[in-house]
Amino acid sequence: MHPLLPHITDHLTDIFGSLGYFIPEVYLGLLFLVVMITDVLFGKKSTSLCRTVACAGLLVVLFKDLQQVGITLNAQHFIFSNMLLLSPAAVWFKLVIDLLAFILLLYFTWDKKLASHKKGLSDLYTITIASIFGLHLMVMAVNLLSIYLAIEMVSIASYLMVAYRSENAFSTEAGLKYVLFGAASSAIMLYGISLLYGFGGSLDIVLQSTVTELLKVNPLSSFFAILLILVGIGFKLSFVPVHFWVPDVYQGAPTPVTAYLSTLPKIAAFALLVNFLPPFILLGKGTGFDLGILLSVAGIISMIAGNFAAVMQSNVKRMLAYSSIGHTGFALMAVVTFNQQGLSALTYYLLVYALANIGALVLATYFSNVADAEDMDGYKGLGLKYPVAAVCFTIIMISLTGLPVSAGFTGKVFVFSAVYGIYQQTHSIWLMLLMATGALTTVVSLFYYIKIPLNLFLKRAENQDIVYVKSYNSVILAVIISFALILLGVFPDFVLKYL
């Protein structure tokens, strides 16, 4: 008798028992098939129909996410033979991802250059739904195999999205660069996984036996393997030194795709990092290698490199690309606390950052549509022509900077509070350096974020014959996001009490 046959019943029982905790992902899989079939049946003219189906389906997925809040209140659930972990944090990360994904699905057709694609956008909606499925897996992955598969699923979808405008040479170049960097980081990560599997004897990182086996290995070897895996996760987070792809890809990709890349994969990667680190924190205490120091150094360098590079940019998307590296470094401050307060601060910060960043890119699309403005100089004098959009842009820039009374300010206060609470217990010089760097780079960020309202309101346009073009959708979304950023800044408990 084959040695696996007696275990088939147990495995099938585990799979069917796990499906009850996997309902949102089942719906996403079905939604992917429905959108793809809709595209096949109706062809190039199915963009609006695919968009409607995708948005309606994602609302159903959001409802299923909310239902999972109740089943994770008192317990977390390992599913599919410990491949995935459904925890309260995972559910909230999924809710944030799906909410932002719904906004992005609406936003895709508002970009004039992307909407003019001769193939239509039906394929893009199909790819995005598949990517969201991968993001859900990233949020829950706690096995080295599921981690790798989830990251690759999101990466492949992202490559297709970046190069979607294949007739545009700049977009194609950005897609090629993204693929090359992604393939390299994937190979490095896979090598790290193979080493860790060889050292620990298991792909399951939550098993105590895995950590016990790793303690028997030379500490330098085991942490070299962990470092290689962090390269793959860091590629999605875009912290230094795996950030080189960000400026060119963000600038070359269609603006809605840039909004996607700068928010959803980054949120999922932070969730993955939070799941990946705990076993190896214990390993570090036993071997003398401190992952907190490693992440602190990455956070400090990312904040400095991202913010100072952003000061020198004139293209709006490129400036936001470098600033996103700085925000990643700041968010790493919350990760290195390794406690519940830090996790709550991280979730809140990522939500308000993602909202503000999407709002900024929506308005970048708006001004590109109405005035063909790609660089900051093109914004000169537009504040009086388009006052509502300009005021919203200013509010969003204030939130991204972290000034009162915006949600960005509140998010930074929560992160600083979490780090300072740990600093009072440990008096770690690295935590002090993180807080000092975070404060310094917040001031530096004001110098490049303020350029946009400065050009909108205080500088005169060289060309005064700008024709007013109506584009209500982008402005309405920008108003909603601006209002939400102020509301969450004044009343953060609307969100924080649930985290």
Q: Which residue has the higher pLDDT, 6 or 445?
A: 445
What is the mean predicted confidence (pLDDT) over 32-36? Answer: 92
Give me 205's structure tokens: 């990182």
pLDDT score of 494: 83
Inter-axis angle of helices 472-490 and 387-401, nearest 10: 40
Q: Which residue has the higher pLDDT, 25 or 76?
A: 25
Residue with token string 């706690």: 142
Residue with token string 């792809």: 245
What is the mean predicted confidence (pLDDT) over 259-271? Answer: 92
Distances from the Cα of 182 to the Cα of 172, 185, 318, 352, angstroms:
15, 5, 19, 27
- Report how far residue 129's alpha carbon sits from residue 127's, in angstroms, rounded to the nearest whole number: 6
pLDDT score of 1: 46
pLDDT band at 352 (very low <50, low <70, confident <90, very high): very high
Nearest 5°: phi and psi at 79?
-130, 160
pTM of this structure: 0.93
What is the mean predicted confidence (pLDDT) over 98-104? Answer: 93
Residues 6+ apart with CB under 8 A from 271: 89, 90, 93, 138, 139
CB atoms within 10 A of CB 285: 11
Helix, strand, coil tally for the chain in percent (to 5): 80, 0, 20
Cross-strand pairs, 315: 375
- pLDDT tens digits, 115-136: 777 777 888 899 999 999 999 9
Q: Is the pLDDT of residue 6 over 70?
A: no
Give me 5's structure tokens: 């046959």
Report the range of poorest mean pLDDT among 79-93, 287-301, 358-372: 287-301
What is the radius of gyration, based on Cα positions, of the chain? Answer: 23
Strand extents, DSSP E, 221-372: none
Q: Which residue has the higher pLDDT, 63 or 19?
A: 63
Query: Which is nearest to 235 in space by CA: 181, 275, 193, 162?
Result: 181
pLDDT score of 361: 92
Residues in the chain: 499
What value does the mean pLDDT of the chain take? 86
- Report how far residue 137's alpha carbon sits from residue 388's, in angstroms, rounded to the nearest whole number: 39
